[in-house]
Structure 1
Amino acid sequence: MFYQEPLAYRMRPEKIEEVVGQDDIIGRDTPLYKMIQKGHVPSMLLYGEPGTGKTSLAFAISGSTHKEFFAINATTAGKKDVERIISEARMTSNAILFIDEIHRFNKSQQDSLLKALEEGVITLIGATTENPFHSVNHAIRSRCGQIKQLKPLNKEAIIQLLKRALDDSEKGLGELNVKIEETLLASIAETTGDGRTALSLLEDIVYASDETDDGIVVTKETVDYCIKNKGFSHDNKGDIYYNLLSGLQKSIRGSDADAALYYLARLLEGGDLEAISRRLLVIAYEDIGLANPQLCSRVLPAIQSVERLGLPEARIPLSVITVELSLSPKSNSAYKALDKAIKHVQKVATEDVPAHLKDAHYQGAKELGHGTEYKYPHNYPNSWVYQEYLPEEIKTMTYYQPKELGEEKRYKNVYDKLNQLKQQERKKYT
């Protein structure tokens, strides 16, 4: 028996009790569940990765109420579609308007919802893969009593979803009498936290399996083949993409090589070598810095190797440099010092450059006293001589706070020694 609609579409829950894997949001003890059971549906924004069940939850809420329900997708609908729905909704006491990919609406399109929301003509359920605090207007957010983040489904929830599809004779695959071992269902569930992908994968596996007199028998070979060829990708402009890059950097910063390799693997499956390389270069100077400058200097050649090799070989230098960065001593003191100086300059920046440091490479500079008292360090033992370099008003200002980690410990010793000499010389002039 073949259906025109995909299995994931057919198995969409019709009531909130059928929603799988989001118990913290719509479980029987949650305030949202109790509201809906009593017929009250607040306007809300549902935020999460693809396949976490945002659309399913919206349709389940509709099925659990007696309100009129309109559903549109912001990628294809426009302002006129919204105005038409609002006009129809005015004929009823209140209607639910579900807008999938609401972040695709521009400000004008989002603003067209405000009056109807305020008047209670519509209850809005917006779904987005983007962080709503970045992608949805504040005016819309302030009118949504609930902003719920749906998490990827865990293995147990996916297995529950798959079993439900296998048992359902009306919408699922029940009439096909599919025979599949529990371990194979677990293999499917372990490939993704995306319910839609898992159901689509199950559907492919079932129709790729051999049919016998007892029904359809699913083998490990068929499951492995379909999983291998399912592929993986992520939207390189979506929230998950930036979260993965953030996870990579924070894992390296936290010296967790295993976690760093995990996030690197997920990013590699997305195929964006340029973003990975750029982030690793930033990490080298932001998080390793003076603690291991030799390693920083090796990151760029590694990235150039990645660019020259391409995938799959590019994973080899990426793995090496990721582990090295993870296990290296860490320091952010250099750029933090610069940030402190920038903040000071932006706030003040009125001090004059000391006369002995001013440019003296032009006729008349000597008459102005520019550079005349400058002491050339290379003319002195150890290439150091006392003189003030900061303007007089801030000559005791310090920005750099060295750490005693890795190579920076050596730099700290030099820095401290020079400051000690400077203090001794200052006392002679005061």
Structure 2
Amino acid sequence: MQQPLAYRMRPKTIDEVVGQQHLVGPGKIIHRMVDAKMLSSMILYGPPGTGKTSIASAIAGSTHYAFRMLNAATDSKKDLQIVAEEAKMSGTVILLLDEIHRLDKTKQDFLLPHLENGRIILIGATTENPYISINPAIRSRTQIFEVKPLAPSDIKTAINRALTDSTNGLGEYPVKLSEKALNLLGEATNGDLRSALNGLELAVKSTPKNQQGEIELTLPIIEECIQKKALANDKNGDAHYDVISALQKSIRGSDVNAALHYMGRLIEAGDLPSIMRRLLVIAYEDVGLGNPQACARTVNAVTAAEKLGLPEARIPLADAVIDLCLSPKSNSGISAIDSALTDIRAGKAGEIPDHLKDAHYQGAAKLNHGVNYKFPHDYPNDWVKQQYLPNRLKHAQYYQPKANGKYETALKQQYERLEKAQKN
């Protein structure tokens, strides 16, 4: 039986990897490791279908080391022993260990000495946060890299590559893929290249040739094969982003009905990840300090939606949209940090005052570091007049409080009291 297209199209070298250029691009960390043949064990974490296995196989292909794949949940200690024996006999082996967060203590204890001596280069793959789910003993011996969902342009590049590759891809098939269908494959699979390639292969192999001898893949065919609907009126491939933009602007403008409409479009397209991410952005960008409780409730709603999946996810998400629409709004938080960043990027950082510098080492006092620092908790109301900003910025005011909700109104009053006390 022939392997799936996504398997056949895995990159053979690091330069063939699609996306993840923050890791594998020229001059980036994994590319440098490969160029220098100074590989260290690593953990790649991120959503399914984003290239974790591809990166591992590409590293092996570029370095010409033996490459083995195991699953921490289903493969046994004996399987690990076989890999270790191979490494002992023939040299370095790159081991891709999928679901590494499910590695039990027995297998872990067996692996550790082999990681220490460098015979096995471990590349762990997981969809879980490794800082929470992976044992510290493994974490301390690996570098941790986040693999991100692929951009639509990356997925389109991989699709076009698959359609022209006659050896491993679909180059021998006379495929005519419409632009709208290509856009849907790039956008509706939410950065999951495996899903896009598998949907493409199903479409190609299940669609009969037309009278011209072509396999014509239209938008409805791709919709059926990936089980995702295209957003209506997508003439230029931009409707996906237009709907997300309209959702945020409707919530910002407190129009509940419009916001529910635009979220409904995204739900109908099956784009749960975009909805969840956008609602979190909206909560903190547009509501923010106007109603921090609504921000926290949005986080809870997104967590519930992620666990439920569609269609039930629509319920907590609808609650969040209504809550955010009708909440007091404040963008003072994003305005404040962007104002601070503007100064920093303009080279206005300035030197940290001596009394704020670290004093937890011998000789700090000789440098005047930490000297004359006033510990606020030693003073009434846990506050004392003291300069914190660098001299060149000591009069800077980044936070401009608003009074659109009870919470930020209280913050505004406290901010103004402290400003007055600092100036006296």
Distance 1:411 1:26 in 2: 48
2:133 paired with 1:153: no
Give distance in 2, aligned partners of 1:405 and 1:59.
54
CA distance change for structure 1 residues 256 and 51 in 2, over 3 Å: closer, same or farther?
Answer: farther
1:182-229 superposed Cα distances (whole Å, 9 cap, x missing partner): 332112111120110110111122123231353312123212333436
Could you tell me how far apart the structure 2 residues matched to 1:316 and 1:86 are?
50
Q: Helix, strand or coil for the counterpart of 1:29? A: coil
For 1:132 and 1:408, the matched residues in 2 are separated by 35
The two structures have a TM-score, normalised by structure 2, of 0.59
Are the structure 2 counterparts of residues 314 and 200 from structure 1 closer, same or farther at C-alpha, using a change threshold of 3 Å?
A: closer
Which residue number in structure 1 is paired with residue 214 of structure 2? Answer: 215
1:158 CA drift (Å): 0.3
- For residues 208 and 101 of structure 2, the distance between their equivalents in structure 1, rounded to whole angstroms, comes to 44
2:164 paired with 1:167: yes
Unaligned regions of 5+ residues in structure 1, if any? 232-250, 300-305, 332-395, 417-430
Deviation per CA, 1:378-420, whole angstroms, max 9, x where unpaired? xxxxxxxxxxxxxxxxxx999xxxx9654679999xxx9xxxx
Q: Deviations over 1:243-281 (max 9, x none)?
A: xxxxxxxx9xx969869x86996799599xxxx9xx99x
The residue that corresponds to 2:102 in the other structure is 104
**Structure 1 residues 256 and 59, CA, compared in 2 at 3 Å: closer, same or farther?**
farther
Q: 1:292 to 1:406 in 2, by over 3 A?
A: farther
Secondary structure, counterpart of 1:160 in structure 2: helix
Deviates more, 1:162-171 or 1:84-93: 84-93
Whole-Å Cα distance in 1 between the matches of residues 172 and 45 of structure 2? 35
User: What residue is the counterpart of 1:386 in the other structure?
Assistant: none
Task: State the partner residue of 2:174.
Answer: 177
Cα separation, partners in 2 of 1:263 and 1:195, compared to 1, 3 Å:
farther
Q: Flag structure 2 segments of 5+ consecutive residues without an equivalent.
A: 231-247, 299-304, 331-379, 383-401, 415-424
The two structures have a TM-score, normalised by structure 1, of 0.58
| Maintained 8 Å contact 2:50/2:147 | yes
Answer yes or no: is 1:189 the counterpart of 2:186. Answer: yes
Identity %: 44
Q: Distance in 2 between matches of 1:121 and 1:110?
A: 15
**Contact kept in structure 1, 2:152 and 2:186, CA below 8 Å:** yes
Report what 1:28 is aligned to.
Answer: 26
Cα distance 1:218–1:74, how it changes in 2: closer, same or farther (>3 A)? same
SS of 2:45's equivalent in the other structure is strand
Cα distance between partner residues in 2 of 1:39 and 1:289: 49
Instruction: Tell me the matched-pair count.
Output: 304
- Alignment correspondent of 1:116: 114
- 2:88 maps to 90
CA distance in 2, matches of 1:167, 1:263: 37
Counterpart position of 1:79 = 77
Q: Over aligned residues, Cα RMSD in angstroms?
A: 4.7
Q: How far apart, in 1, do the equivalents of 2:135 and 2:268 lie?
A: 29
Q: Which structure's CA Rg is the greater one?
A: 1
**2:49 pairs with 1:51:** yes
CA distance in 1, matches of 2:37, 2:118: 15
Give the aligned partner of residue 228 of structure 1: 227
Kept after mapping to 1: 8 A contact 2:44/2:145: yes
CA displacement at 1:141 relative to structure 2: 1.8
The letter of the residue matching 2:322 is V
Closer, same or farther in 2 for the Cα pair 1:316/1:153, shift >3 Å? closer
